[in-house]
């Protein structure tokens, strides 16, 4: 039995409505309301009675759960599946599955700065049949066969600083940025090139590839603005530039979760395409204010505002509703559109009433023509 | 300038739905106005003809290397990066090094931002072949799909 037999038919009427709404921020439509994207991953599997581990270990099941649950909460018409450590297995890490986490490397594989020299960057040909891309080939074939209307080819560079740190250990990496800067840059260069080669695989197979790249570990709780520019933004930029040169894009999702209290200004140095969404998680301990997000980036990208993810596991939907309303009111006039998100992935055990509170706020405060 | 095309370039131009006469016109216009980029060995010229902007890459002897187009209309440069990436191109009209920048792009009534080679002195912008034929072409397709 295939995973598709576990799910009822996909609601095409809802899909048509959701697709039209999803186009709003990208082509200046004013249909229905502001969209809500709670950055959902394994919550979808949990909501269908499976486990966090199932979501990551069985990508086809995971993405079908997502397509199904998006209908429940009236979210997006497109699907995505990923874990936070793409390409690490292809660089030599042994990935282990956990019951409550995405797959993670069993241990770091680089111990001294000199070890970086020996790290082999897999070519696109090597990656094509490697650990990471093989999962995507299988997954995308499944989606195209069973829920093709939800399909978007996506490639994940994800968090270059975070991935580099996973290869050598977070403490090591942070120390290297102070005392072994050449090694830190070389490692970032090698991870970034690997991710670019991965994007080229997707572009080759599908003719385009939405690019997801992040600045997560590189945030103001750990790094200065200058360090975020030097170690994070520089490589996010390189990832986009070189992936575009190989035919990837045109969509970009910049995911900048963590605290970007002052470093948010550094993202001005990114590359912008006609289909770019910029998402910033926090400013200090608070969800990043949407009015500031729109003021800084509203004329360059679609802005994705944030509701603090911590709120989604507290039994108080009204607090989520109020936080959502505040962000929507502050962001809904963004010249290139606004999406209400959560500051990072919605927790796997998010309370359904809280996600419903986000879409309810979008209806009440984000319906076009009502403000 | 005596503009020359190899058979393979003629075939490529045909496959891309462009006309040889338009490419010749673009090169002659660029040569007479000096509105072009040069990287020391080849030139990049462009002209808006009808609903498309057509580009020609050619050497100083008039040998055309490639031609391509996009439908988006390029607008003003947007100030983004503090340290723009350099390119090998020089804006011949301004004698200024061109950089990778961001420009406004308009298609089907929608204006968004996109990457381009720009001359920060005169404000002109060019799209290189890899972007025009892949990323920008895909973006135009998405606009058409989402506007439908």
Where along chain A do its domains lie?
A: 3-366
Chain A environment of B112 (Cβ under 8 Å)? 26, 273-276, 336
- Indicate the domain borders of chain B: 7-147
Chain A environment of B143 (Cβ under 8 Å)? 26-27, 274
Cβ-based neighbour number of residue B33 at 10 Å: 11
What string of DSSP letters covers A63-98? HHHHHHHHHHHT--S------S-TTTTTTTPPEE--
Cβ–Cβ < 8 Å for A217, A85: no
Chain B environment of A276 (Cβ under 8 Å)? 112-113
**Among all residues of chain B, which has the CA nearest to that of A27?**
B110
Residue A170 is predicted with a pLDDT of 97
Beta strand ranges found along A92-153 (DSSP E): 95-96, 104-105
Cβ–Cβ < 8 Å for B5, B64: yes
Cβ of B131 and A248 within 8 Å? no
Is the pLDDT at B39 greater than 90? The verdict is yes
Cβ of B80 and A272 within 8 Å? yes
Task: Give the residue carrying structure tokens 């962000």.
Answer: A327
3-state SS, residue A259: strand
Q: Digits of tens for pLDDT over chain A (371 positions)?
A: 799 999 999 999 999 999 999 999 999 999 999 999 999 999 999 999 999 999 999 999 999 999 999 999 999 999 999 988 999 999 999 999 999 999 999 999 999 999 999 999 999 999 999 999 999 999 999 999 999 999 999 999 999 999 999 999 999 999 999 999 999 999 999 999 999 999 999 999 999 999 999 999 999 999 999 999 999 999 999 999 999 999 999 999 999 999 999 999 999 999 999 999 999 999 999 999 999 999 999 999 999 999 999 999 999 999 999 999 999 999 999 999 999 999 999 999 999 999 999 999 999 999 999 99
Residue B81 is predicted with a pLDDT of 73
Nearest to B139 among A248, A274, A300 (CB): A274
Q: Exposed, middle or buried: residue A28 (CB in 10 Å: 0-12, 13-18, 19+)?
A: middle
Closest CA to A358 of A311, A315, A313, A320: A320
Eight-state DSSP code of residue B120: T
Residue B147 is predicted with a pLDDT of 85
Cβ–Cβ < 8 Å for A339, A301: no
Chain B environment of A272 (Cβ under 8 Å)? 78, 80, 102, 113-115
Query: Region B136-143: what's the mean pLDDT?
Result: 96
Read off the tokens for A321: 């509703």
Question: What ipTM goes with this model?
Answer: 0.95
- Domain A3-366 CATH (choose: 2.160.10.10, 3.40.50.2000, 3.20.20.210, 3.10.580.10): 3.20.20.210
3-state SS, residue A239: helix
Q: How many CB pairs under 8 A join A and B?
A: 91
Nearest to B142 among A275, A301, A336 (CB): A275
């Amino acid at each position: 039995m295939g995973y598709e037999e576990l799910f009822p038919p996909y609601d095409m009427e809802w899909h048509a409505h959701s697709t039209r709404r999803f186009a709003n921020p990208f082509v200046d439509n004013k249909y229905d309301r502001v969209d809500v994207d709670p950055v959902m991953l394994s919550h979808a599997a949990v909501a269908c009675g499976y486990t966090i581990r199932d979501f990551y270990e069985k990508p086809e099941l995971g993405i079908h759960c997502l397509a199904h649950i998006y209908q429940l909460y009236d979210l997006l018409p497109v699907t995505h599946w990923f874990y936070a450590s793409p390409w690490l297995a292809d660089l030599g890490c042994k990935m282990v599955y956990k019951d409550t986490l995405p797959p993670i490397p069993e241990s770091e594989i680089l111990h001294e700065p000199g070890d970086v020299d020996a790290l082999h960057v897999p070519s696109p040909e090597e990656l094509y049949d490697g650990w990471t891309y093989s999962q995507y080939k299988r997954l995308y074939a499944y989606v195209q066969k069973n829920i093709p209307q939800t399909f978007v080819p996506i490639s994940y560079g994800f968090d270059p600083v975070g991935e580099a740190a996973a290869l050598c250990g977070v403490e090591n990496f942070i120390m290297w940025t102070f005392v072994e800067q050449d090694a830190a840059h070389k490692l970032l260069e090698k991870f970034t090139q690997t991710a670019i080669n991965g994007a080229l695989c997707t572009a080759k197979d599908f003719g385009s590839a939405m690019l997801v790249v992040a600045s997560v570990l590189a945030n103001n709780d750990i790094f200065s603005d200058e360090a975020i520019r030097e170690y994070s933004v520089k490589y996010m930029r390189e990832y986009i530039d070189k992936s575009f040169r190989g035919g990837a894009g045109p969509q970009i999702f910049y995911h900048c979760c963590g605290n970007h209290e002052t470093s948010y200004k550094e993202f001005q140095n990114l590359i912008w395409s006609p289909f770019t969404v910029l998402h910033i998680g926090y400013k200090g301990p608070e969800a990043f204010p949407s009015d500031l997000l729109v003021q800084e980036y509203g004329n360059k990208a679609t802005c994705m505002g944030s509701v603090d993810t911590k709120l989604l596991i507290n039994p108080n939907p009204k607090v989520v509703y109020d936080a959502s309303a505040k962000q929507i009111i502050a962001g809904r006039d963004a010249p290139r559109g606004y999406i209400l998100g959560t500051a990072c992935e919605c927790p796997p055990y998010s309370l359904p009433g809280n996600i419903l509170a986000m879409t309810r706020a979008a209806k009440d405060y984000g319906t076009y023509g009502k403000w | 300038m005596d503009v020359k095309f190899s058979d393979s370039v003629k075939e490529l131009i045909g496959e891309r739905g462009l006309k040889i006469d338009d490419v010749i016109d673009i090169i002659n216009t660029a040569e007479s106005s000096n509105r072009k980029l040069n990287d020391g060995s080849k030139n990049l010229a462009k002209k808006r003809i009808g609903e498309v902007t057509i580009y020609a890459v050619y050497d100083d002897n008039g040998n055309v290397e490639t031609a391509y187009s996009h439908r988006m209309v390029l607008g003003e440069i947007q100030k983004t990066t503090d340290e723009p990436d350099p390119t090998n191109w020089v804006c011949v009209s301004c004698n200024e090094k061109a950089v990778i920048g961001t420009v406004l792009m308009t298609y089907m009534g929608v204006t968004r931002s996109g990457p381009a080679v720009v001359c920060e002195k005169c404000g002109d912008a060019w799209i290189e072949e890899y972007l025009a034929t892949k990323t920008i072409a895909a973006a135009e397709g998405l606009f058409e799909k989402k506007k439908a």
